[in-house]
Amino acid sequence: MIIAADNLHAMNPIVWEALRTLDPKPLQELARRCEEAGAKLLDINPGYLSPRQEDRMIFMVEAVQEVTSIPLILDSPNPRLLAKGLSVCRRKPVLNGLSLEEHKLKEILPLAVEHGAPLVLLLMDERSFTPPTVEEKISLALVLRSRALEAGVHPENLIFDPILPNLSWHDGFSQVAEVVKSVRMLSSGAIFGEPAQTMVGLSNLRSGLKQVYPIHLETTYLSVLAGAELRYALANVLQPELMETARLINRAC
CATH code, 7: 3.20.20.20
Number of independent structural domains in the chain: 1
Say whether pLDDT at 250 is over 90.
Answer: yes
User: What mean pLDDT is reported for the chain?
Assistant: 96
Least confident of 144-148, 198-202, 249-253: 249-253
Q: For residue 237, what pLDDT is reported?
A: 98
The per-residue pLDDT for range 40-61, each reduced to its tens digit, is: 999 999 999 999 999 999 999 9
Proportion of the chain above pLDDT 90, given as a percent? 96
**Is residue 85 reached through a cis peptide bond, with omega within 30 degrees of 0 on the bond before it?**
no
170 or 202, higher pLDDT: 202
**Taking the complete model, does pTM exceed 0.85, yes or no?**
yes
Say whether pLDDT at 190 is over 80.
Answer: yes
Confidence of residue 253 (pLDDT cuts 50, 70, 90): confident
The per-residue pLDDT for range 134-160, each reduced to its tens digit, is: 999 999 999 999 999 999 999 999 999
The per-residue pLDDT for range 122-136, each reduced to its tens digit, is: 999 999 999 999 999
Mean pLDDT on 189-205: 97
CA atoms within 13 A on the CB side of 99: 18
Contacts 24+ apart (CB under 8 A), 173-182: 174/132, 175/132, 176/205, 176/221, 178/132, 178/133, 178/134, 178/137, 179/137, 180/221, 180/224, 180/225, 180/228, 181/134, 181/228, 182/123, 182/134, 182/137, 182/138, 182/141
Please give the Cα distance from 250 to 253 (Å, whole number): 5
Say whether pLDDT at 170 is over 90.
Answer: no
Range of the domain at 66: 2-252
Q: For residue 208, what pLDDT is reported?
A: 86
Confidence of residue 210 (pLDDT cuts 50, 70, 90): confident
Mean pLDDT on 158-168: 96
